[in-house]
Amino acid sequence: MSTVLYEQKGQIGIMTINREKQLNALQITVLEDLSAVLDAVNLEEVRCLILTGAGKKSFVAGADIAEMNTLSQGEATAFSKKGNDILRKLEVFPIPVICAINGFCLGGGCELALSCDMRICAETAIFGQPEVGLGIMTGFGGSQRLPRLVGTGMAKELLYMGGKIDATEALRIGLVNHVYALDELLLEAEKMANKIAKNAPIAVRNTKKSIAKGLEVSLDEAIYVEAEIFGTCFETEDQKEGMGAFLDKRKPTGFVNK
């Protein structure tokens, strides 16, 4: 049985890390299954993804320490590179990915969440990068993505001290977008995903691409990157329908991703 379940509901897809008894701890098999699920997503139909964990206690409680414990230096480097390749695949996936964090979000789990476009969480969620207490550091991009998201000072505090923060603090520092009651979390994630799915897919995908490419260069270069990608939205059926509906003072009849 796959360690990552997938369900398509209309125009959204839901991926669930399925190791509830192990608090959904990451193994390389989990990451490989996640990669396989991404490969199988029907991008002609699906316009937004949700990533969550099975059960009510944990999104992902971290990497599987037993799997890492005996790694040599070379094996550890290879393990990190493979994990990073898969998390990067998630990060640059053409459509938005919403992470619905339903409990513990620690170590590799937090790094997995950081690779998503947006994060929402349950009131019970706990976040942290405890790697330094194990004699190691983040290996799946945490030392790179966390400073970009919450600022260098706060990221260094979390990474150097190896402590944990609750949902309220995660919201305050910008690690998550919203906090909900646990029983409402997935419903709210689906609402968010469906709102995204109603918009023109070409426009949403191009916006994601523009943000990603723009963050890699200077602002002077980034605004020209945006201009080029902006231009590709035109002469499409969705642009004609969207603007036509606005001028006709009606709602769009539906976007077709063309």
What would the pLDDT profile of 110-130 be if each residue is shown by its tens digit? 999 999 999 999 999 999 999
Q: Is 131 a catalytic residue?
A: yes
- Could you tell me which of 90, 127, 93 has the C-alpha nearest to residue 109? 127
- Taking residues 172-178, report their average pLDDT: 98
Q: Is 123 a catalytic residue?
A: no
Let me know: does 70 contact 30? Beta carbons within 8 Å: no
- The active-site residue, picked from 45, 91, 131, 169, is 131
Rounded CA gap, 217 and 161, in Å? Answer: 31
Rounded CA gap, 252 and 243, in Å? Answer: 9
Q: Where in the chain is the domain with CATH 1.10.12.10?
A: 200-247
- The active-site residue, picked from 111, 184, 228, 241, is 111
pLDDT digits (tens, 9 = 90+) for 235-248: 999 999 899 999 99
Q: Where in the chain is the domain with CATH 3.90.226.10?
A: 4-197
DSSP letter for 4, please: E
Task: State whether CATH 1.10.12.10 applies to domain 200-247.
Answer: yes
Residue 1 is predicted with a pLDDT of 56
- Quick one: CATH architecture of 4-197? Alpha-Beta Complex (3.90)
Residue 257 is predicted with a pLDDT of 85
Measured CA to CA in angstroms, residue 13 lies from 6, 73, 121, 194, 216 at distances of 7, 37, 18, 10, 28
pLDDT digits (tens, 9 = 90+) for 34-74: 999 999 999 999 999 999 999 999 999 988 888 889 999 99
